[in-house]
Amino acid sequence: METKTTFTPHPELPPPANTVGAVGWLRANLFSSPANSLLTLFALYLLWLLLPPALEWLLFKATWSGTTRADCAPGGACWVFIKMRFGQFMYGFFPEPERWRVNLAWILAVLGILPLLGKRNPLRLPAAVFMLFVYPLIAFVLFSGGFGLAPVETSQWGGLMLTLVIAVVGIAGALPGGILLALGRRSKMPVIKTICVTFIEFWRGVPLITVLFMSSVMLPLFLPEGMSFDKLLRALIGVILFQSAYMAEVVRGGLQAIPKGQYEAADALGLSYPKAMGLVILPQALKLVIPGIVNTLIALFKDTSLVIIIGLFDLLNSIHAATVDPNWLGMSTEGYVFAALMFWLFCFGMSQYSQWLERRLHTGHKR
Amino acid sequence: MSETMPQAPQKKLVISDKVMIEMKDVHKWYGQFHVLKNINLTVKQGERIVLCGPSGSGKSTTIRCINRLEEHQQGQIIVDGTELTSDVKNIEMIRREVGMVFQHFNLFPHLTVLENCVLAPIWVRKMPRKEAEELGMHYLKRVKIPEQAKKYPGQLSGGQQQRVAIARSLCMKPKIMLFDEPTSALDPEMVKEVLDTMVSLAEDGMTMMCVTHEMGFAKLVSNRVIFMDRGEIIEQNNPHDFFDHPQNERTKLFLSQILHH
């Protein structure tokens, strides 16, 4: 006797009703266990305690219209302060008739960066060339004058404009600097390796405040008589050197995560070192450490506010200066809430972009 | 074993007198450990050589020295008339002419299959992109997966990935192909498709050196089998005599272990 068995697949059934839809989501996420249910209820209670007074102060009892301190109603925020001082917060002491130049520079930056953020498109290459080589010159002329534009000293730069200048220049310098340092630290050549290790360990070992102090107070003492550097430029160099050391260690983490086989495959195809790094290793390594890179960039963005100690008027310092104005006493809460909101907007934007980038660059399983 | 046995080469294989690889008294150490001992080997154009031996015997190290993924410390290695020294230009020149296929494929996961194939022709051979893509598609057809060109390596099976890796090497039009255990990391049902690809390469007269445990492949395709143990070449012979009349006791033991398990 021979018995034949044939394979009949089991029919596919729908999932149980209480595991799908809104009820399923609530059960799975908020009330999955007694402890989780308790935490959910506690969180709701906290929100009930905190949210109504916060909203009342921020929105419902807040003063929106008016021009002076006297227009502020008690019990709520007085956004009139922000409105009246908005120009100072955005541009610092940049002369009012020249402020269009700052706006134009930012508009150009956004237009230039947009094609780079999206997927592959024909504008990518021209936009990259423009942003790398042309834009820095245009922005420099727009900010500091020349070619028929009235000169504006860097000491007049301030507010959000100065914050963004420091952050953007810092990022543009620290990212490539960090990559080079990371590659150098993994170099087989002992001289290069030693230089990079020493550099990284030195800059990581000192606080940014010290670096800024040194750049503004100590450095001029060592420079020859009559020679002087712009204070902002010195701060920028300090920020770049400091942050590239941090960036280098983040990138090195990515380089170490790339399997040896990738280096070998690139070598075996005859790619030279710069090509193997630029085309094979770095694209993968940088993608792996996007969270770490963005972490460093966000920290860099917020650390720009430390320039307050060398007397530069960035966004935070401009707001601080406005709150000690006798005409607007007692407005520091509004000022700092506004500062927090501005910083949060930019940092949250960077974070969202990085998460989108990670999803876009995901190409399935490794190997 | 018999299902995975590839078909025997159809064409007559020609071995010319031109020497493609010459290794003279090659020694190599990892720290104190003497991994390669006095390796002497001459490979002529059109030869298909299989290296076998127990693990740690130095087979992989030997072929990895040929394109300088490993550095030898003593002796001479001459590939296609150029001696391997620490001169980077020389090394890059030799690597352009020597293709390599790895056990773990080592495809570039951030690039599509076609981009993997055209990367080196474009950046090393300075070929225009369009021409390189035609070449890439040609070799993808050759390994029978042109329809996967736009996919990423992570979306392919192991056998398909290894065939892409072979196509990627072929796009550089190498004179020599090195295979480092190309089927060891594959599921059994995928071994055949990779071996078939290698057989068809051999039919076209490619000079090949292959580290493998596929003795069926060795019997069918190779013209010489080299047996290594503890960093030395113990025995080399044509496959017929190697498998049927091994000379050295160590070879006999090895063959008995892998053939009657």
3-state SS, residue A365: coil
Name the average pLDDT for chain B: 91
Token pair belonging to A149:
């534009």
pLDDT at position A366: 46
Q: Which residues of B touch A275 (CB under 8 A)?
A: 123-124
**Facing residue for A363 by CB, picked from B104, B120, B154:** B154
pLDDT at position B175: 94
CATH 3.40.50.300 for the B19-259 domain, yes or no: yes
**Residue B189 pLDDT grade (very low, low, confident, very high; cuts 50, 70, 90):** confident
- Per domain, the residue ranges of chain B are 19-259
Average pLDDT over residues B122-148: 94
pLDDT at position B2: 44
Q: Which residue of B has its CA nearest to A281?
A: B108
Q: Which residues of B touch A266 (CB under 8 A)?
A: 108
Q: Residue B27 above 90 pLDDT?
A: yes
Q: Residue B9 above 70 pLDDT?
A: no
d(CA A193, CA A250): 17
Give ipTM to 2 decimals: 0.91
Residues of B contacting chain A (CB within 8 angstroms): 67-69, 88, 92-93, 95-96, 98-100, 102, 104-110, 119-120, 123-124, 152-155, 161, 168-169, 172
pLDDT at position A2: 59
Q: Do B172 and A272 touch (CB under 8 A)?
A: no
- As a whole number of Å, the end-to-end CA separation of chain B is 12
pLDDT by 10s per residue, chain A, length 367: 556 778 888 888 888 877 778 888 888 888 888 899 999 999 999 999 999 999 988 888 888 888 888 888 888 888 888 888 898 899 988 888 888 999 999 999 999 888 887 777 788 888 889 988 899 999 999 988 888 888 888 888 989 999 999 999 999 999 999 999 999 999 989 999 999 999 999 999 999 999 998 888 877 777 777 666 788 888 999 999 999 999 999 999 999 999 999 999 999 999 999 999 999 999 999 999 999 999 999 999 999 999 998 888 999 999 999 988 888 888 888 899 999 999 999 999 999 999 988 888 887 654 3
pLDDT at position A60: 87
Length of chain A: 367
In A332-361, the residues whose Cβ lies within 8 Å of chain B are 361
Q: Do B95 and A279 touch (CB under 8 A)?
A: no
Are the CB atoms for B185 and B158 separated by under 8 Å?
yes
Would an 8 Å CB–CB cutoff place A262 in contact with chain B? yes
**Residue B67 pLDDT grade (very low, low, confident, very high; cuts 50, 70, 90):** very high
Q: Which residues of A touch B107 (CB under 8 A)?
A: 265, 367
| H or E stretch at A151 | none
Instruction: Report the alpha-carbon angle A244-A342-A316, nearest 5.
Output: 70
Q: Do B106 and A279 touch (CB under 8 A)?
A: no
Alpha-carbon distances, residue A293 vs A21, A242, A356, A358, B34 (angstroms):
37, 14, 14, 12, 43
